[in-house]
Structure 1
Amino acid sequence: MKTIRIGIAGGAGYTGGELLSVLINHPYAEIVFVHSNSNAGKPISDIHSDLFGDTNLKFSDTLSQNIDVLFLCVGHGDAKKFLDANPINENVKIIDLSQDFRLKNNSTQAKRNFVYGLPELNRESIKKADNIANPGCFATCIQLGLLPLAASGNLNSEIHINATTGSSGAGQSPGATTHFTWRNNNLSIYKPFEHQHLNEIGESLTQLQKNFNEEISFIPQRGNFSRGILAAMYLESSLSLEQAQKLYSDYYESHPFTHLSLKNIDLKQVVNTNKVLVYLEKHGNKLFIISIIDNLLKGASGQAVQNMNLMFGLDEMAGLKLKGIRF
């Protein structure tokens, strides 16, 4: 199997660090460079101390075109600027982890067309794609809790969502709401009904259920833990629990990372993995759905590697058979 030559731009942040952790142990990956202007010349392990002893790579302030794929781990709004300032050869595939190219109206830049990289929705398109817009973390968790219903035309009422994310979802740069003394023993709500991931969620659901026009009421929360997302959702549904479970089992049967659990789930089951667990209950006429992911892996860097595997014809799970920390 051919080795995939990889470049990473923005390698000093959380998503860059997670990406490095996966790719260093990927059987078909060769990391050519990790770009960071502010850390050029420093060992990778100076910033990502968990990689001490695993790699001798150093950050670089130059870009090589002698790669097969470039991962963009830059901030939201910076991916477009990066590509404008640094033209990349057309034969180099791009996987962007920012939100810059996720929506259909923003999916083209400099003759590059970006495919929305949610494998459980667009696997066949991803296999043929040259450029991928990696989904958002909340969007991934929520969509994977709803896609089977949309695919079967069963989203016919308002969807109520309460989802809590770990502090790593806010990125590595410190801020007022990420400081340990503020976040510890605390819980807060932000961007109720207006979170930016609602747009990509809506586009995916209407891709599967053309007539979907119901309201999505989403209340995001900041949790006092480091990583993971738990989304709790409910909507009115005429499906029995058994019918709903069959829909989900059938839909995800061919998707190796997403699993329907018949027992209630908790976040530690997926932390440090690329897995998604979904659990269903029926309460009267309401279908209750819980979906959980690791926001840095399936919600970002793990999913990016999953997309790379599909783009290059590899086993979808290559480099991603990760062990969770249960205790």
Structure 2
Amino acid sequence: MAGKIKAGIIGGAGYTGGELIRLLLNHPEAELSFVHSKSNEGNYLHHVHQDLLGDTNLKFTGKLGEADVLFLCLGHGEARKFLENNTIDPAVSIIDLSQDFRLEDSSSFGDRHFIYGLPELNRDNIRKAKNIANPGCFATAIQLGLLPLAKNGLLDEIHTTGITGSTGAGQGLSQTSHFSWRANNVQAYKTLNHQHLREIGESLRQLRPGHNMILNFIPWRGDFTRGIFISSQIHCEEKESTMNELYENFYEGHPFTILGSEPIFLKQVINTNKCIIQLEKVGSKLVVHSIIDNLLKGASGQAVQNMNLMFGFDECAGLKLKAAAF
């Protein structure tokens, strides 16, 4: 495609919308053509995302503008409603960041079919896709830790815990997202019943059809703003060196998923599109740690990664971000 593509954002006032704006403003192959927000129509972007002061004079709009790709940064259930209430040119690609089209039985809307947008699993299909369902943040971190095991038939029962920052709850305030509640506090929630379990299961079975895998997942709310730390435990008789080689081979050629040999920590991935994985073998147990930034690899960064693949750009274009160590 000659020249830059035009990108539009629907729902640009929240956390994921803000991250997308920042990424697209600095993308070498894309031009941010409009940012849609009913509640902020007419306001400068930097009135809501104040760090953008001096970076852009774009204003939020209540109308749809010209776009080659449309990012839907809407609440769960709202993306489907938006498509029902607005006519989008079939030539426009859609990348949806909600959970509305992630599952196989809900992956179509009219003539549009949405491909599950986890590049480490579906990169070839994403390159040919017109529409993408961006994975969930917990789902991304858990799947990237487990995919090599699923491919090699090493998953039966998995016990997973994961902690996420407050931005994972979105920008709207609730009792558990207020600073006074979140500070110096940790809480388990949606125990064994998180909404991302179905999409994780579908991805694992994609690599091992017919194999019965049980995932027991307990998520925690953490006392920090962004990032996800996952620890998954399985029974495994293989040597740690064998498992490290298995992971290295699986993720060879995938630029954002990296295997670490030392204990990993969240600050390594905050403000990046990376997933870093570390394996620990203790007796017959294998523990897989995986970390991501929930707003980037878990949302907007992965959405841009998918856009890059769809339009034939360098997969890393606009995503060469550096973590801030302190």
- What TM-score does the superposition give when structure 1 sets the normalisation length? 0.98
After TM superposition, the structure 1 stretch with the greater mean CA deviation from structure 2, 209-218 or 309-318, is: 209-218
Q: How many Å separate the matches in 2 of 1:299 and 1:223? A: 16
Q: How many Å separate the matches in 2 of 1:212 and 1:185? A: 41
TM-aligned CA deviation for residue 218 of structure 1: 0.1
| 1:1-57 CA distance string (max 9 Å, x none) | 520101100000000000001110001111111000110010000000111111111
What residue is the counterpart of 1:62 in the other structure?
A: 63
Q: How many Å separate the matches in 2 of 1:209 and 1:124? A: 18
What residue is the counterpart of 1:8 in the other structure?
A: 9
Q: How many Å separate the matches in 2 of 1:239 and 1:10? A: 47
**Equivalence map 1:20-35=2 (5 Å):** 20-35=21-36
What letter corresponds to residue 100 of structure 2 in structure 1? D
Q: How many Å separate the matches in 2 of 1:129 and 1:91? A: 12
What residue is the counterpart of 1:177 in the other structure?
A: 176
After TM superposition, the structure 1 stretch with the greater mean CA deviation from structure 2, 28-37 or 89-98, is: 28-37
What residue is the counterpart of 1:283 in the other structure?
A: 282
TM-aligned CA deviation for residue 239 of structure 1: 1.5
Q: How many Å separate the matches in 2 of 1:151 and 1:45? A: 45
Contiguous gaps of at least 5 residues in structure 1: none
TM-aligned CA deviation for residue 212 of structure 1: 2.4
SS state of the match for residue 38, structure 1?
Answer: coil
TM-aligned CA deviation for residue 110 of structure 1: 1.5
What letter corresponds to residue 8 of structure 1 in structure 2? I
Q: How many Å separate the matches in 2 of 1:239 and 1:123? A: 29
Q: How many Å separate the matches in 1 of 2:3 and 2:316? A: 16
SS state of the match for residue 42, structure 1?
Answer: coil
**Equivalence map 1:33-72=2 (5 Å):** 33-64=34-65, 66-72=66-72
What residue is the counterpart of 2:73 in the other structure?
A: 73
TM-aligned CA deviation for residue 211 of structure 1: 3.2
What residue is the counterpart of 1:128 in the other structure?
A: 128
Matched pairs, number: 325
TM-aligned CA deviation for residue 108 of structure 1: 0.3
What residue is the counterpart of 2:246 in the other structure?
A: 247
Q: How many Å separate the matches in 2 of 1:23 and 1:30? A: 7
What residue is the counterpart of 1:18 in the other structure?
A: 19
What letter corresponds to residue 26 of structure 2 in structure 1? N
What residue is the counterpart of 1:207 in the other structure?
A: 206
Q: How many Å separate the matches in 1 of 2:196 and 2:202? A: 10
| 1:217-254 CA distance string (max 9 Å, x none) | 00000001000000011000122101100010001111
SS state of the match for residue 61, structure 2?
Answer: coil
| 2:160 is equivalent to residue 161 of structure 1 | yes
What letter corresponds to residue 151 of structure 2 in structure 1? A
Q: How many Å separate the matches in 2 of 1:35 and 1:58? A: 9
**Equivalence map 1:214-233=2 (5 Å):** 214-233=213-232
Structure 1 stretches of 4+ with a deviation exceeding 4 A read: none
What letter corresponds to residue 239 of structure 2 in structure 1? S
Q: How many Å separate the matches in 2 of 1:50 and 1:299? A: 21
SS state of the match for residue 37, structure 1?
Answer: coil
SS state of the match for residue 225, structure 2?
Answer: coil
TM-aligned CA deviation for residue 154 of structure 1: 1.6
What residue is the counterpart of 1:138 in the other structure?
A: 138
SS state of the match for residue 159, structure 1?
Answer: strand
After TM superposition, the structure 1 stretch with the greater mean CA deviation from structure 2, 131-140 or 232-241, is: 232-241
TM-aligned CA deviation for residue 213 of structure 1: 1.1
TM-aligned CA deviation for residue 67 of structure 1: 1.3
What residue is the counterpart of 2:235 in the other structure?
A: 236
| 1:149-205 CA distance string (max 9 Å, x none) | 1112221x3100000000000000000110000000000010000000000000000
What letter corresponds to residue 202 of structure 2 in structure 1? E
SS state of the match for residue 39, structure 2?
Answer: helix
Q: How many Å separate the matches in 2 of 1:195 and 1:47? A: 31
What residue is the counterpart of 1:192 in the other structure?
A: 191
TM-aligned CA deviation for residue 87 of structure 1: 1.4
Contiguous gaps of at least 5 residues in structure 2: none
What letter corresponds to residue 11 of structure 2 in structure 1? G
What residue is the counterpart of 2:116 in the other structure?
A: 116
| 2:315 is equivalent to residue 316 of structure 1 | yes
Q: How many Å separate the matches in 2 of 1:271 and 1:45? A: 22
Q: How many Å separate the matches in 2 of 1:53 and 1:276? A: 31
SS state of the match for residue 181, structure 2?
Answer: helix
- What TM-score does the superposition give when structure 2 sets the normalisation length? 0.99
Q: How many Å separate the matches in 2 of 1:196 and 1:150? A: 20
